[in-house]
């Protein structure tokens, strides 16, 4: 998966987790929590969906890496480079 | 009969919100009951396959955001819809109600089966690896979930909990509301019952294995309490929440009053897991009447519990004959022929559907009663067509459940 693929995958997940939110103007460099109504259970949903959809395991100590779109994509790129887009 | 209690101990119903398979408001539900409209439809569920059920079509998004619906449970959504509708119906100035003085008491037959089955179904796709088990499972399955979702949705900070009372739960929720108001644990009670049971295949499979699941080529004919051709229960979802207040408070704010809960009783058969005991049921009815200081012949309408099972209907008929034998004026009816068995919601829904009789003076019918079963002989049962009554002052509502749990609520016109 390319960075663009990963970004699209994250947006798909977010649209399921936060179905009432408008994601069209999501800023990649701003933390999700500053733009969306997401709590800790929602972040666990992101982790779970990555596990379910792409079999990606994210250890708990790495959860802060999922703060914004940029940091998430940067963190996932090496983990998902062999995942089919 | 004049109540001996002071007005601040007299508890009245001032708001009703409901969703039944044939109506999403009291007016719509009542109209369906008077016009003989069933809410039972063809239904298919995971593993079990084709069956029939009572399905509700209220708008979940009327009071919830999509995220909240996704996070929560169907029982929570049913409860939230009904509670909001009840509050609106009560006409109370909700903005200015002290939310810490509101209590939420929700009857449930069961809770958590739907959510657990869903998780097991999900992890089956991952070779039963529990890493894929949702972190939402516990908050969805804790037994207080439906009441807790109502508290979060309406910002109510008073007590909230559910009452697990099998199919007596709807009445049990109302009774709890009355008791908590009298104990001054709350100043306003939101109470009743909810059911999400059609979303668990297990309830269908278990009734089927027990030989107690209804089947019929025409779904609207499947639920037929007291009829010779009845063959079991139609499982339904639904909910009914009432706003209860002290009569003194209701009068102070000039509230519309549906009626006063003048009597109630709960007891136990202490005999069998599934077989009801007519003697205990009759005892429960008599206890409620005694507390209401009423005689059986004072009751205008008895809303029966009968679910359409061979034994259960005959047993309740025995109990009813014990109490009302020889009394020609009390009429009986049944709601399950229209909507199936709404489980935890049944008691509250079936009572609510009868309350408009105080205004319109009509006893709604028991439908699908084509060949009355001699084992269920009840001459005062209103069959197939509603019956006009001169005046309705007292309605008694039966609700019984597995493990021998019996409940009766009596409401009097104010």
Give the pLDDT confidence of B185-220 residue by residue, as tens digits. Answer: 999 999 999 999 999 999 999 999 999 999 999 999
Domain boundary among B222, B252, B282: B252
- Chain B CB contacts of A44 below 8 Å: 135
In this prediction the ipTM stands at: 0.95
Q: Please indicate whether residue B376 is annotated as part of the active site.
A: no
B327 pLDDT band (50/70/90 cuts)? low
B67, B134, B136 ranked by CB distance to A18: nearest: B67
Q: Give the distance from residue B149's alpha carbon to the nearest chain A alpha carbon, in angstroms.
A: 16
Percent of chain B whose predicted confidence (pLDDT) is above 70: 99
> Quick check: B252 contacting A, CB < 8 Å?
no
* C-alpha torsion sign, points A47, A52, A53, A56: positive
Domain with residue A68: its CATH number is 1.10.1200
Give the pLDDT confidence of B139-191 residue by residue, as tens digits. Answer: 999 999 999 999 999 999 999 999 999 999 999 999 999 999 999 999 999 99
Q: Please indicate whether residue B305 is annotated as part of the active site.
A: yes
What pLDDT does residue B1 have?
A: 46
What pLDDT does residue B3 have?
A: 54
B169 and B191 in a common domain: yes
For every residue of chain A, which 3-state class applies, written as one string? CCHHHHHHHHHHHHHHHCCCCCCCCCCCCCEHHHHCCCCHHHHHHHHHHHHHHHCCCCCHHHHHHHCEHHHHHHHHHHHHCCCCC
DSSP string of B342-382?
Answer: -GGGHHHHHHHHHTTHHHH-EE--B-S-SSB-GGG--TTB-
What pLDDT does residue B262 have?
A: 98
Domain count of the fold of chain B: 2
Mean of the per-residue pLDDT values of chain B: 97
B139 and B68 in a common domain: yes
Mean of the per-residue pLDDT values of chain A: 96
Please pick, among B160, B216, B341, B364, the residue that the annotation labels catalytic: B341
How large is the average pLDDT for residues B28-35?
A: 98
Give the pLDDT confidence of B59-109 residue by residue, as tens digits. Answer: 999 999 999 999 999 999 999 999 999 999 999 999 999 999 999 999 999
* Residues listed for chain B: 414
Is residue A30 assigned to a domain? no
B248 and B274 in a common domain: no
Name the DSSP class of B233.
B
Q: How many CB pairs under 8 A join A and B?
A: 24
Q: Please indicate whether residue B167 is annotated as part of the active site.
A: yes
Joined tokens for residue B289: 């009447």
How large is the average pLDDT for residues B277-304?
A: 98
Is residue B4 assigned to a domain? no
Domain boundary among B219, B252, B285: B252
- Domain of residue A50: give its range: 3-20+36-80
CB-CB contact of B398 with B316 (8 Å): yes
Domain count of the fold of chain A: 1
Residues sharing a CB contact under 8 Å with residue B146, sequence separation 6 or more, in sequence order: B73, B75, B76, B78, B79, B106, B108, B111, B162, B194
B65, B132, B136 ranked by CB distance to A41: nearest: B136
B309 and B233 in a common domain: no
Distance CA B343, CA B108 (A): 7
Distance CA B317, CA A17 (A): 51
Q: Note whether B132 contacts A41, CB cutoff 8 Å.
A: no
Neighbours of B124 (CB within 10 A): 10
> Quick check: B138 contacting A, CB < 8 Å?
no
B67, B134, B135 ranked by CB distance to A20: nearest: B67
> Quick check: A18 contacting B, CB < 8 Å?
yes
- Domain of residue B396: give its range: 264-412
Give the pLDDT confidence of A4-40 residue by residue, as tens digits. Answer: 999 999 999 999 999 999 999 999 999 999 999 999 9
Domain with residue B361: its CATH number is 3.40.47.10
């Amino acid at each position: 998966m390319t960075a663009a693929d990963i970004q699209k995958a994250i947006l798909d997940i977010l649209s399921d987790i936060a179905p009432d939110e408008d994601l069209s103007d999501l800023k990649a460099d701003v933390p999700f929590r500053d733009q969306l109504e997401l709590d800790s259970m929602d972040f666990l949903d992101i982790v779970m969906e990555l596990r379910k959809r792409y079999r990606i395991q994210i250890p708990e100590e790495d959860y802060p890496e999922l703060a914004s779109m940029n940091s998430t994509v940067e963190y996932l790129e090496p983990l998902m480079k062999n995942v089919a887009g | 009969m004049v109540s001996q209690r002071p007005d601040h101990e007299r508890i009245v119903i001032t708001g009703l919100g409901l969703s039944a398979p044939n109506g999403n408001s009291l007016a719509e539900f009542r109209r369906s009951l008077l016009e003989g409209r069933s809410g039972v439809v063809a239904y298919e569920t995971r593993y079990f396959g084709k069956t029939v059920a009572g399905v509700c079509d209220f708008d979940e998004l009327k009071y919830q955001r999509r995220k909240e619906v996704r996070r929560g449970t169907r029982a929570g959504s049913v409860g939230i819809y009904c509670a909001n509708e009840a509050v609106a119906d009560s006409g109370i100035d909700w903005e200015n109600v002290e939310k810490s003085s509101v209590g939420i008491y929700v009857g449930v037959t069961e809770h958590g089966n739907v959510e657990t089955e869903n998780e097991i179904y999900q992890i089956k796709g991952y070779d039963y690896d529990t890493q894929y088990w949702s972190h939402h499972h516990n908050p969805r399955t804790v037994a207080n979930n439906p009441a807790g979702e109502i508290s979060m949705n309406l910002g109510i900070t008073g007590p909230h909990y559910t009452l697990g009372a099998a199919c007596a739960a709807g009445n049990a929720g109302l009774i709890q509301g009355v008791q908590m108001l009298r104990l001054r644990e709350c100043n306003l009670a939101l109470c009743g019952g909810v059911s999400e049971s059609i979303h668990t295949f297990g309830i269908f499979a278990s009734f089927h294995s027990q030989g107690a699941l209804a089947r019929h080529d025409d779904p609207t004919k499947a639920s037929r309490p007291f009829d010779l051709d009845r063959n079991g229960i139609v499982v339904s979802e639904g909910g009914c929440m009432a706003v209860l207040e002290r009569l003194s408070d209701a009068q102070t704010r000039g509230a519309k009053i549906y009626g006063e809960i003048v009597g109630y009783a709960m007891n136990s058969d202490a005999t069998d897991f599934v077989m009801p005991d007519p003697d205990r049921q009759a005892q429960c009815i008599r206890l409620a009447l005694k507390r209401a200081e009423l005689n059986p012949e004072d009751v205008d309408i008895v809303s029966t519990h009968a679910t359409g099972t061979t034994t259960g209907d005959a047993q309740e008929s025995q109990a009813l004959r014990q109490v009302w034998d020889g009394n020609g004026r009390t009429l009986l009816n049944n709601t399950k022929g229209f909507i199936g068995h709404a489980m935890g919601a049944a008691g509250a829904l079936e009572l609510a559907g009868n309350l408009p009789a105080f205004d319109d003076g009509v006893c709604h019918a028991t439908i699908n009663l084509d060949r009355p079963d001699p084992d269920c002989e009840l001459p005062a049962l209103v069959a197939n067509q509603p019956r006009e009554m001169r005046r309705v002052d007292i309605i008694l509502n039966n609700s019984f459940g597995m493990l021998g749990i019996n409940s009766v609520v009596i409401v009097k016109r104010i």
